[in-house]
Amino acid sequence: MGDPGKEAGASRPAGADPGGAAPDAPRRGAPRQDGGAGRLTLHATAVALDGRALLIRGPSGSGKSALAFQLMALGAGLIADDLVILTAGPTGPVAACPPAGAGRIEARGIGILAAPAHPPCTVALVFDRGHRERERMPPRRSTALLGFPVPLVHDPGTGDVASVLYHYLRFGPAS
């Protein structure tokens, strides 16, 4: 993927929201540039472990929050659920939570639950629930977030994905 500001649906003119939301509210599923190139708001979920954030993106209902719950059960901390604010940090994009969402996560069919709020962290990996991985040994991919290349993996559809992502956050990919 290229620069988020250049992707289809990545930004919209001020006041042009087909859903009738306030001009500064992001559309579901569409990244939005806030205040220039140094800030981006995404419909996504972010968790962190050992100072490294995982950005989980995908369509509504794809299991972003459910995956976050699985990772939290393994020891990851919740940065943000539903909306993630990215800012340009010194070494990469930093994931943070809008103030109104701090310490809150949706459990589909149950409601909003409390969770300890994790501080912002640099994004180490993007996991895409919206794209199914078909390769057993896929090529290394990346996506640009605020001008930084970030490793990208597609959803393999396996039952062990939470433990694999946990391991990635702890130890990274093999060289």
Low-confidence ranges of the chain (pLDDT < 50): 1-30
6-20 b/e (C-beta count within 10 Å ≥ 16 → b) = eeeebbeeeeebeee
**Contact in structure between 105 and 112 (CB atoms under 8 Å):** yes
Distance CA 135, CA 138 (A): 5
Sorted by where each starts, the structural domains of the chain and their CATH numbers stand as 33-135 (3.40.50.300)
Give the per-residue pLDDT at 25: 37
pTM for the whole structure: 0.81
Residue whose token pair is 């901390």: 77
The H-assigned helical ranges of the chain are 64-73, 161-171
Give the per-residue pLDDT at 34: 56
